[in-house]
Amino acid sequence: MKESSESEGRVELYHGPEHPEELKKIAEKLFKTLNLGSEEQQVALMAIEYHDVVIEEDYDRNDKNPLLMIKRKRGTREGDKPMGAEGNEALSAKKLREAMEQSGVFTEEQIKNAVWAIEATYPAVDLGPDFKGASFKEYPYFEAAVGQNKELGQLFQDSEKKGIAKGPLFFQPHLEKPLEDGQEVPKEVLVVALSDLGGCGTKEAEEFANEGNKELRELLVNLRDSKNLAEINKTERKELAEKFIDWAKSQAGFVAFQALRFEKIVHLLKKKQITDDQEQQLRGQFSHYIDNIQAAVQRAEKLKKDYDNDLSLVGEKPAFKNLALKMGYKLTQGN
């Protein structure tokens, strides 16, 4: 991560050296809330260190299209898409198991929980039948979620009136399915999984927006070097501008589903794993979902408005440059 992020001209990526450090910050608060012992904390921290040690990407290296987006080779168990038990999470977990076994100081249960913690970070995705987003109201735990969080329920009512009713649902089946089945999930697994997809609930709007920008810059593989932006033509700039704005629009739906997932997980944990006091502490730590949904909507609207205004005031190329700068690309006067 460190080596790839320090190359000259490289943009800052989501899976840079800061990523596990950010997870640790979230995890350290959860340690106290969920009462993890020192050994449980160590297992969780090791899982965080190793959970993205393997990130293999699927794309055509010969395709120089600036809109080309990578697909990560995700998967940890049979049935996971696209790579099943040969995916990134499985390979990362294997490396952690080997390291823990070689150390000779961990029990088999600790190793099992560490591996499960990495498996729990595997993100499945539901984009709906038309690939334009899954329906919020059709989420199986929607009523339970808005029933225990009235403010969130009101936000969904208001959003629906504005035509915002769908979004990309990223979820963690190897955490959520055991909870649905009434299984007690080890604290280490809970901490790692909640930390990995919980940023939009723990971070304030500007920080979350920057995180989303880094994710897009990582996906747009041929633009990881900002200098490549100087070589694209007018048609490509127009298409990229649309991609940037569409991505910004999608962030509100992404956060909305993460808010629903948080409520689902709390709802299931309350049955046997957390107290009322721990629930309130969790809510205090994951308190930014609603703010980030609203901020993401406003940000996308402003990006579109500013870009359209720039088109008429300063022209197409400067308008694109201004937009690219707002998405976190490093542009010089020459490009």
Q: Is 26 exposed, middle or buried (0-12, 13-18, 19+ CB in 10 A)?
A: buried
Q: Is 36 exposed, middle or buried (0-12, 13-18, 19+ CB in 10 A)?
A: buried
Q: What architecture is domain 2-326?
A: Orthogonal Bundle (1.10)
- Please state, as a whole number, how many other Cβ atoms lie within 10 Å of the Cβ of residue 146: 22
Enter the tokens of residue 184.
């007690």
Cα angle for residues 313, 242, 201 (degrees, 5° grid): 110
CA distance linking residue 148 with residue 266, whole number of Å = 10
The pLDDT value given to residue 171: 98
- The whole-model pTM stands at 0.94
CB 190 within 8 A of CB 34: yes
Question: Which residues are bridge partners to 170 per DSSP?
Answer: 125
CA distance linking residue 13 with residue 10, whole number of Å = 9
- Please state, as a whole number, how many other Cβ atoms lie within 10 Å of the Cβ of residue 66: 18
Q: Where are the domains of the chain?
A: 2-326
Enter the tokens of residue 330.
């490093």
Instruction: Report percent pLDDT > 90 for the chain.
Output: 90
pLDDT in tens, 204-242: 999 999 999 999 999 999 999 888 998 999 999 999 999
Nearest partner of 252 among 296, 214, 203, judged by Cα = 296
Query: Helix, strand or coil for residue 258?
Result: helix
- For the packed helices 289-313 and 205-219, what is the interaxial angle rounded to 10 degrees? 60
CA distance linking residue 185 with residue 189, whole number of Å = 7
Kindly give the parts of the chain with pLDDT less than 50. 8
The pLDDT value given to residue 1: 58
The pLDDT value given to residue 5: 53
CB 237 within 8 A of CB 316: yes
